[in-house]
């Protein structure tokens, strides 16, 4: 087999009919009447996240918050910028593990589950509790 | 009075590893470079154990782990995301800022006149970042960038302090500069400080007192600027547009040793291809391609470090040109008979791609250039997920896969790596 090197092809080497493809003006139809009313599509991020820099996603494992509509494997939206209040659902680190519970400040500091199968967790003296942030929403997927 | 703030994340990579691992609070943490070669970040506890910055991991591994230290491969997806969050928060607090590196930023505190207000802003800023992202920062506030660096240094070392230091009064500044050695001043390197020492300049205060004319004559206008900044005269402005890169480096340590040019060439080609992608991603053109190869510093065999450059008559961004230049440079840098442990490629002498310096001897052919650009764009987009198109001189396995044995999950950028509750 022999190969003849013919050099590089540039647009000017091509026959004119190659480059001028559209000889007739192209019909473009009537502009869409919706063009004046264009709005951006609904954005779930905007609905779920107020403060992006301070928001983290956490996956739930377990059913201890079932009665607060937080199922196993739900995705929690956790906003670290919101100050947790009495009754807030929070993600906290307890002795080095993350847990999701309802925060009770009075009469005694306590993490409450939302499922009668589980006991409230009273924070003992010397126990390491650190609130990571407030849960503002939970996403449960069904399919 | 005008104030600038330098916000600096404490031991940033190590702190990032802690955000989703509350069990690692107070534990020593080190983070390793690509290929788990060297220590590139240390928590306070690891520093206290005497782990030095940049030390090869194998040298300290056994003793460090035996004492309960924790180790991570670098997880830049995580560090990048947390850095972006910190920078976003700062951006919302001031009108002008300059992101100086992944873990540092300068803020223009133009809305503040009083030193105590500046200090309070620093405390607020630090608490907010700590609460919102979980990253500890220290803040140095002063009338100039160079003094803000000094203040940040003081904030770091202040025992039991708030991690915030505001330098304003002439007396305070002089007092603190006396305690800082000249090589710790921003912009004064090791070599410069030796020369300064010979002139009897040891502390930052000594430097500040030096005669400006002498500095300009004996050293440079750059050092003159540093001296003026130490005196409280702001000379280095906040740059709110990020500076385009001046060079691109792709390098790796090999797992084994390579002493054969034929084995080295395909690896250098891989680096060249990756560097070309980075170059086009940055929308730059370079006119110099350099190759470096080195034996291991930790080996007792004879040492060789080779470096050579190929210069183009006009700026290029075409991988085929980079490959050609890299190959020529490698042939010159290579010396037979050495077990090479590391190699890399460096692209430099950048110019903006729309501006093509016409070469006197080779007229740039615009039509061909356009076609070449198109070809590179096509290949880049095809390769954007996984390499599908290889250049003939490349190593078929692509870039030797980076060894990362101890990498933490991508907690914030991957659905399957989200932190979990127990």
Average pLDDT score over residue span B97-113: 93
Which residue matches tokens 């691109």?
A: B248
Nearest CA in chain A to B368: A10
State the nearest Cα–Cα gap between B189 and chain A, in angstroms.
Answer: 36
Query: 3-state SS string over B254-285?
Result: EEEEECCHHHHHHHHHHHHHHHHHHHHHCCCE
Q: Is A64 a catalytic residue?
A: yes
Which of the four pLDDT bands, split at 50, 70 and 90, describes residue A7? Answer: low
Confidence check: pLDDT of B135 > 90: yes
pLDDT of residue B185: 92
Q: Where is average pLDDT lowest: A28-42, B15-29, B266-280? A: A28-42
pLDDT of residue B40: 94
The domain covering B248-382 belongs, at the CATH homologous superfamily level, to: DNA polymerase, Y-family, little finger domain (3.30.1490.100)
Q: Is residue A87 part of a domain?
A: yes
Confidence check: pLDDT of A18 > 50: no
Select from B366, B374, B422 the residue whose CB has the most chain A CBs within 10 Å, as the one to mutate to test that interface.
B422
pLDDT of residue A25: 58
CA distances from B76 to B43, B113, B244 (A): 17, 38, 21
**Which B residues, 121 through 150, put their C-beta within 8 Å of a C-beta on chain A?**
128, 131-134
Residue A51 near chain B (CB below 8 Å): yes
Q: Is A12 a catalytic residue?
A: no
Residue B368 near chain A (CB below 8 Å): yes
Starting at the edge strand found earlier in the chain, the sheet holding B164-166 runs: B96-101, B104-108, B4-9, B137-142, B164-166
Which of the four pLDDT bands, split at 50, 70 and 90, describes residue B360? Answer: low
Assign a CATH topology to domain B1-161+403-422.
Answer: Alpha-Beta Plaits (3.30.70)
User: With an 8 Å Cβ cutoff, are A80 and B132 in contact?
Assistant: yes
pLDDT of residue B245: 67
Type and span of the H or E element at B48: helix B44-48
Q: Is residue A115 part of a domain?
A: yes
pLDDT of residue B381: 81
- Summarize pLDDT for B301-324 with one digit per residue, the tens: 678 888 999 999 888 889 999 999
Nearest CA in chain A to B22: A96
Average pLDDT score over residue span B402-413: 84
Range of the domain at A49: 44-139
A99 contacts in B (CB within 8 Å)?
A: 421-422
Residues facing residue B344 across a β-bridge: B251, B292
Q: Is residue A21 part of a domain?
A: no
Please answer whether residues B45 and B39 qualify as being in contact, where contact means their C-beta atoms are separated by less than 8 angstroms: no
User: With an 8 Å Cβ cutoff, are A81 and B23 in contact?
Assistant: no
Most confidently predicted of A67-71, B188-192, B297-301, B316-320 = A67-71
> At CA B56, angle to CA B273 and CA B21, rounded to 5?
90
pLDDT of residue A83: 93
Averaged pLDDT of chain A: 85
State the span(s) of chain B assigned CATH 3.30.70.270.
Answer: 1-161+403-422
Starting at the edge strand found earlier in the chain, the sheet holding B39-42 runs: B39-42, B29-32, B70-73
Q: Is residue A80 part of a domain?
A: yes
User: With an 8 Å Cβ cutoff, are A81 and B134 in contact?
Assistant: no
**Options A50, A61, A64, A141, the catalytic residue:** A64
User: With an 8 Å Cβ cutoff, are B418 and A59 in contact?
Assistant: yes
State the nearest Cα–Cα gap between A133 and chain B, in angstroms.
Answer: 9
Residue A8 near chain B (CB below 8 Å): yes
User: With an 8 Å Cβ cutoff, are B421 and A10 in contact?
Assistant: no
State the nearest Cα–Cα gap between A3 and chain B, in angstroms.
Answer: 19
State the span(s) of chain B assigned CATH 3.30.1490.100.
Answer: 248-382
Average pLDDT score over residue span B164-191: 90
State the span(s) of chain B assigned CATH 1.10.150.20.
Answer: 169-243
CATH code, domain carrying A92: 2.10.109.10
Average pLDDT score over residue span B227-235: 92
Instruction: Say what the ipTM of the complex is.
Output: 0.77
Which of the four pLDDT bands, split at 50, 70 and 90, describes residue A35? Answer: confident
Asked if CATH classification 1.10.10.10 holds for the domain at B169-243, the reply, yes or no, is no
Of B131, B134, B422, the CB nearest to A98: B422
Q: Is residue A18 part of a domain?
A: no
Of B133, B368, B421, the CB nearest to A98: B421
Average pLDDT score over residue span A123-139: 91
Count of domains forming chain A: 1
Question: Going by DSSP bridges, is the β-strand pair B29-32/B70-73 parallel, antiparallel, or unpaired?
Answer: parallel
């Amino acid at each position: 087999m022999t190969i003849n090197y013919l050099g590089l092809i540039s647009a000017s080497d091509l026959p004119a009919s190659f480059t001028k493809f559209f000889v007739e003006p192209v019909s473009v139809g009537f502009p869409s009447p919706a063009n004046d009313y264009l709005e951006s599509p609904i954005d779930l991020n905007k609905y779920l996240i107020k403060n992006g820099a301070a928001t983290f996603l956490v996956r739930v494992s377990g059913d201890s918050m079932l009665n607060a509509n937080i199922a196993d494997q739900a995705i929690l939206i956790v906003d670290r910028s919101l100050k947790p209040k009495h009754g807030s659902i929070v993600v906290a680190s307890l002795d080095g593990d993350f847990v999701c519970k309802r925060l009770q400040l009075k009469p005694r500091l306590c993490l409450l589950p939302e499922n009668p199968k589980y006991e409230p967790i009273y924070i003992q003296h010397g126990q390491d509790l650190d609130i990571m942030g407030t849960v503002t929403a939970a996403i449960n997927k069904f399919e | 009075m005008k104030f600038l703030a330098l916000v600096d994340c404490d031991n940033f990579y190590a702190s990032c590893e802690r955000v989703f691992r509350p069990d690692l609070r107070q534990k020593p943490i080190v983070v390793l470079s690509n290929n788990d070669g060297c220590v590139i970040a240390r928590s306070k506890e690891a520093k206290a154990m005497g782990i030095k910055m940049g030390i090869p991991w194998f040298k300290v591994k056994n003793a460090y782990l035996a004492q309960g230290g924790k180790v991570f491969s670098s997880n830049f997806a995580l560090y990048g995301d947390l850095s972006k969050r910190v920078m976003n928060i700062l951006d919302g607090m001031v009108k002008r800022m300059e992101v100086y590196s992944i873990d540092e930023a300068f803020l223009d505190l133009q809305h503040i006149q009083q030193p105590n207000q500046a200090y309070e802003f620093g405390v607020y800023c630090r608490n907010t970042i700590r609460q919102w992202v979980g990253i500890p920062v220290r803040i140095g506030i002063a009338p100039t960038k160079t003094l803000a660096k000094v203040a940040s240094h003081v904030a770091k070392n202040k025992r039991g302090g708030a991690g915030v230091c505001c330098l304003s009064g002439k007396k305070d500044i002089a007092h603190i500069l006396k305690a800082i050695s000249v090589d710790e001043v921003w912009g004064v390197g090791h070599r410069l400080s030796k020369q300064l020492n010979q002139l009897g300049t040891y502390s930052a205060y000594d430097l500040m007192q030096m005669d400006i004319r002498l500095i300009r004559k004996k050293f440079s206008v750059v050092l003159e600027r540093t001296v003026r900044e130490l005196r409280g005269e702001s000379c280095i402005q906040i740059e709110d547009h990020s500076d385009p890169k001046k060079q691109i480096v792709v390098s790796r340590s090999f797992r084994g040793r390579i002493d054969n040019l034929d084995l080295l060439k395909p690896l250098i080609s891989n680096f060249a291809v990756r560097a070309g992608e980075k170059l086009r991603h940055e929308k730059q053109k370079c006119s110099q391609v350099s190759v470096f190869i080195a034996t291991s510093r930790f080996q007792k065999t004879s040492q060789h470090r080779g470096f050579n450059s190929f210069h183009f008559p006009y700026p290029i961004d075409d991988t085929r040109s980079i490959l050609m230049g890299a190959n020529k440079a490698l042939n010159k840098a290579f010396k037979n008979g050495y077990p090479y442990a590391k190699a890399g490629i460096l692209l430099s002498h950048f110019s903006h791609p729309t501006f093509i310096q016409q070469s006197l001897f080779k007229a740039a052919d615009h039509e061909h250039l356009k076609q070449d650009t198109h070809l590179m764009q096509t290949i880049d987009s095809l390769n954007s997920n996984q390499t599908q198109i290889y250049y003939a001189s490349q190593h078929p396995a692509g870039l030797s896969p980076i060894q990362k044995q101890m990498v933490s999950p991508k907690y914030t950028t991957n659905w399957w790596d989200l932190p979990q509750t127990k």
